[in-house]
Structures are given as structure tokens and as C-alpha cells.
Structure 1
């Protein structure tokens, strides 16, 4: 049963107004929040905070003292897998942690905690909170590719006014394939349809979805690609999705396909992507995620004339803290009522 008093500890930087929002969920909720123990944000929704911040030994002791009183944590301690591992082992009262990331499974896996160590501890992600900014970024990538923004920027830098103008492609009437028709994928599909695109995609559980022309699982992806003018990946990084976009998949695309990745970098074989860019199967790639992050300085993706490199920021927005806090408050209400929590991280598959 849920304790009469539910203690929530704020483990990451958060504005006071959102802390008060959490306090207001129920009179039984006690919120432990000491902003002096948390690193200041460098930008809105900077969950890690200023890396130069250091607690004194006394502050460090106090930080962990607060976290070890909690039944519920808002954020991973220090926003690290090591912090997650430590609190899971040191706090016997802890029942639920809400992660700031949509793809929290990677951090759970990196913590080294197995299903046994996670027994009785629920971890939820912020999946869905980032759906709109990711979908908007995906639309940006599609439009960049169709409207030749990379070539325009190169001509502008060189002060070239071509004698023979190259017409851009129409997005309206084109076809989009989305890998991962979850909340992010469906929001991307909504925006794409508003632009006049038709949409197909993949889903772990194959079922009809309104507004989506064809749905298959990832094994059927190659069958969708010959009709695609653009492809957006929203899939997380799991053993089953690793290197899904390999040479065979890129070869199944029709020449000139625009490719956008807002999922995880491990889903894409970057060497195969570079080959596809070289042979024209992919005309433009808009990439927010990479197999190794930060993207190594010697990666040819940095300087490729038809690649946009984004430093894993497409999910961010100035409203992120508010959106996550609102999601957490709804989840907290469900937790207090012993209802099912949404977006639980699978402790076996880390998804």
C-alpha cells in the first residue's frame, strides 16, 4: 500500500514553481527540495546543471540524506547511471523514480542494475513529453531535404547565383515512412499529414492506425521503403533495433530519399548511411543522434555537404521543465491511487 505520507525528493535542478506544482498534488505528499544542493541550470531544462558545480562534503552528505528518505524521486541522482545504481542500493524505501529522459532505458542499462536489483522499484521515463519538439524537428529535416537548404547555404556562402535554377521538391503529395509509430512517431505523422504527406510506418504490435496507410513491424521495413520519399527514425536504442538501418535497408530506399534520425544513433550504421549519401539513395540526412556522442571530430558526417548535424538537442524546448513536471504530477496522482504508471522502463529489455 502507498504510505500515508509520500516523500518525494527532487534530485535534479527544477524551478520553484514546478516544485510547488508537485506539492499541490495531494496533502499527503511531502516534497524534499533544497536548491542549494543542486547545480544551477545553464539553459531551460538543463537537468544535469552546471558541470563546474561542486558540493561541499557536508552538502554531499545532505544531498544523499534527502534522497534516502524518499519514496519517490524526481530525476536520477546527479542525472547519471552511477547515481541511479547508488540510490537503488542505498534506499530501501524507494518505490518509484521518474526519469527526465524519454529514452531512460539506456541509463538504466548503464547503471548495471539487473531485474533482480530493480524488484519493487518502478522507473518511468518522460516519453511523450518530447513528442512535439521531435516531430517539429523531423518536419524541419524533411523540409530541408526537399527544399535543398544545404545547397542554398553553400551557394549563399560562395555568393553564387546559379544561371540554371534547380526547382525544389514538393512535400505535398509525397510519402513518409516512420520507424516507430509511438507517441513521437504519431505526432510526426500528424504534422506530416498537415503538410500533405501520406504516411506508413512500423510498430512492434502491428495494428491498423487511423491516418496511417500501412503498418508493419521492423522486419517488414524494407517492403515499405520503395515508395518512401522521406524516412524518419524515432526508434530507441535496443538490441533489437541496433544497426536496423544497414546497407540492405538503405539499398531498399528509392534514389533521393530524405533521411531523418531523432531516435537513437545506434539504430543506424553510419558507414552504410555515408555510402547511401554517396550513391544517391539518400539525398539528404538530418541527424540529431549518433552512434558515439559527442560526435567524434574525425567523423565525415561533420563536413558532409548534405548532412545536418544537430547535437542531440531536438527534444529540447523552453517548456520542457513545465511539461515534465505536469507529466510527473499526473503520474504521482496515479501512484497515490495505486493505478498503473505509464511509460515504465522494462528492466529486462531496457525499453
Structure 2
């Protein structure tokens, strides 16, 4: 096999790492948002297309050109139009950002328990506030892929009880001490903090609706670091207003960004972040390691890891 040409939408630093580690091959920088590749590339490393309200439903002229493989940067596929998957094999970045996202979710647990940043003082009016413990509380996790498993291990190290629920027919990974919830009702009823970490698929869209929220343990802290489409946001607002849900920490919403004036921006018990949990100042080290391992499989004509199955939705 001749040398490969990789068209990459990663940043300049990440692309330079690829050049240094794949010295016998060519890496071409493609600006984020540019979908036309003017070089005869074999591989396209593609960042999300349908984001920030933008939709690109029509493929660029000549798609998929001469590509033999498309590598997505993200683990989910919902930010990519259908035409991306109507060509060569597509692999996802599944697991590459799991540690970052798990750390962020755990930070949200601490922020709720320790009332941060509300606790900070800016004058001499000091009021002592009892703070909730983390140790001994129950952390529920919906979705037990790489993010859920990383989060479970971190939570257990801090003394949290971990209760997890995966998709039907898929066993919970064997992590000693992790308990399996029988269903969503049990997961919501038994959790003090509950993290949504499941992929968005046709089967999971709107999964967390009024009926599910009605089973929440009073005072539940709901965390969504997965996709906004998992959650009925109007039902969440009602649950917050009724006091059933004490706090919602949302790194994701639907749409993204929410329109100006949306109630979630202003609710006193909603804490929004701009879908940033997977973004690290370290760049893409785990992603690059996984891509390069897959690149060697590609060169050896071996099966690729993390192939996307559009029927499953990830």
C-alpha cells in the first residue's frame, strides 16, 4: 500500500503530532467548517458539522471523493448529517474524551454538595452554611460506556455508592461494587446525583420525560453531559418548580445554544455550561493515540475499531 494522505480538521498542534508520528504519510490541514477537500485524501478526520444551529444537509460536490475512511472527532454521531455515512466506513472518537467528561461530571457533584460558587464571600458578612457530604451518597449513571465507567471508578474512590443502568440487553461492565438498577424508575428513585451519559439515538430521544422525572428522589441533582435530546426540558422546568428536582447541571441542551431568553438561562436552580465538558487544554492526546492505532489497522487491512452503526445510532 502506498503512503496515505490524511485530511484533518484537527488544530495545527494536533496535526503536527500526526506528522511526527506518521512520518511516512502526509497530513493536510483542513479548516474547521470547510467540507471540500482539494487533495486526493484517503482519510478525512472530521469535526462536527451540524452545530450551533447550522445544518449542512447537502453533501459537498463529488462526496465522498476517493476517501477510504472517515474518522469522526466526537463519540456521538448526531452532529453529523446523514450523507457523512453514505460512503466509506466511518469510525467515531468513542472513549477519547471519557476522562475529561467524567471529571467534569464529578466536579458538578462537588459544586452541588459544597454550594460552589455560591459559598464564596465578598464582604465581612460571613454566614456559616452546612454542606452536604459526597461520601455515602448515591450516584446514578444512565449509560455505562467509557464515560460512565470512568465516572463510576472515580466516584467509588470518593466513597459514593454507584448505581448504573445501561441499555436493554447490554450488561453493566464488571466494575466491583457498581450496582445495577432494574429500570429508570429505580435509578431515579434511589439516586442523590444522577448523570445522563447515554448516547442520543432514536430509542433514547426524549427518554427522560415527565413520567420518569416523577419517580425522582426528592431533592435529586440531575446532570446531563450527554445530549440535550435525552431530556424533556419543559418537564424538567416543571420538576424544578415543584421542588422535585433540586438542581439541574446541564452541559448540553436542545438546541445548542438555547435561544435568547430561554427559561433555562434564568432558572435559579439550573446551571448551564456551553457543551464544554469534553474540551481539554491538553488537546487531543487520547484521540490521537486511538486514531493512530486504528490507522495501523487500516494500513494492515484489519477491521477498524469504533465503527459507527447508524442503525444503533452510535
With the length of structure 1 as denominator, give the TM-score of the two structures: 0.79
Aligned counterpart in structure 1 of residue 60 of structure 2, from 77, 86, 93: 86
- Determine helix, strand or coil for the equivalent of 1:196: coil
Is 1:238–1:350's contact at 8 Å kept on the other side of the alignment?
Answer: yes
Residue 211 of structure 1: CA displacement?
Answer: 2.7
1:75 and 2:38 aligned = no
1:306 matched to which residue of 2?
A: 269
Aligned residues: 308
Superposed counterparts of 1:246-325, under 5 Å = 246-325=209-288
Q: Tell me the distance in 1 between the aligned counterparts of 2:263 and 2:230.
A: 18
Q: Summarize the Cα distance change of 1:308–1:19 in structure 2 as closer, same or farther, 3 Å threshold.
A: same
1:230 and 2:229 aligned = no
Q: Summarize the Cα distance change of 1:138–1:99 in structure 2 as closer, same or farther, 3 Å threshold.
A: same
Q: Tell me the distance in 1 between the aligned counterparts of 2:124 and 2:45.
A: 51
1:136 and 2:103 aligned = yes
2:38 matched to which residue of 1?
A: 65
Q: Which has the higher contact order (CA 8 A, sep 6+)?
A: 1
Q: Tell me the distance in 2 between the aligned counterparts of 1:77 and 1:133.
A: 18
Q: Tell me the distance in 2 between the aligned counterparts of 1:78 and 1:200.
A: 35
1:173 matched to which residue of 2?
A: 136
Aligned counterpart in structure 1 of residue 74 of structure 2, from 92, 101, 114: 101
Q: Summarize the Cα distance change of 1:282–1:311 in structure 2 as closer, same or farther, 3 Å threshold.
A: same
Root-mean-square deviation (CA, aligned residues, Å) is 2.8
Is 1:21–1:329's contact at 8 Å kept on the other side of the alignment?
Answer: no
- Determine helix, strand or coil for the equivalent of 2:264: coil
Residue 158 of structure 1: CA displacement?
Answer: 9.0
Q: Summarize the Cα distance change of 1:134–1:285 in structure 2 as closer, same or farther, 3 Å threshold.
A: same
- Determine helix, strand or coil for the equivalent of 1:249: helix
Q: Tell me the distance in 2 between the aligned counterparts of 1:6 and 1:258.
A: 48
1:211 and 2:176 aligned = yes
1:31 and 2:57 aligned = no
- Determine helix, strand or coil for the equivalent of 1:152: coil
Q: Tell me the distance in 1 between the aligned counterparts of 2:94 and 2:2.
A: 29
Q: Tell me the distance in 2 between the aligned counterparts of 1:265 and 1:126.
A: 19
Residue 149 of structure 1: CA displacement?
Answer: 2.4
Is 2:164–2:172's contact at 8 Å kept on the other side of the alignment?
Answer: no
Is 1:331–1:341's contact at 8 Å kept on the other side of the alignment?
Answer: yes
Residue 111 of structure 1: CA displacement?
Answer: 3.5
- Determine helix, strand or coil for the equivalent of 2:212: helix
Residue 212 of structure 1: CA displacement?
Answer: 4.6
Q: Summarize the Cα distance change of 1:151–1:255 in structure 2 as closer, same or farther, 3 Å threshold.
A: farther
Residue 77 of structure 1: CA displacement?
Answer: 9.5
Unaligned runs of 5+ in 2: none
Q: Tell me the distance in 1 between the aligned counterparts of 2:273 and 2:249.
A: 8
Residue 157 of structure 1: CA displacement?
Answer: 6.9
Residue 254 of structure 1: CA displacement?
Answer: 0.7
Q: Tell me the distance in 2 between the aligned counterparts of 1:207 and 1:96.
A: 31
Q: Tell me the distance in 1 between the aligned counterparts of 2:150 and 2:79.
A: 25
Q: Summarize the Cα distance change of 1:252–1:158 in structure 2 as closer, same or farther, 3 Å threshold.
A: farther
- Determine helix, strand or coil for the equivalent of 2:79: helix
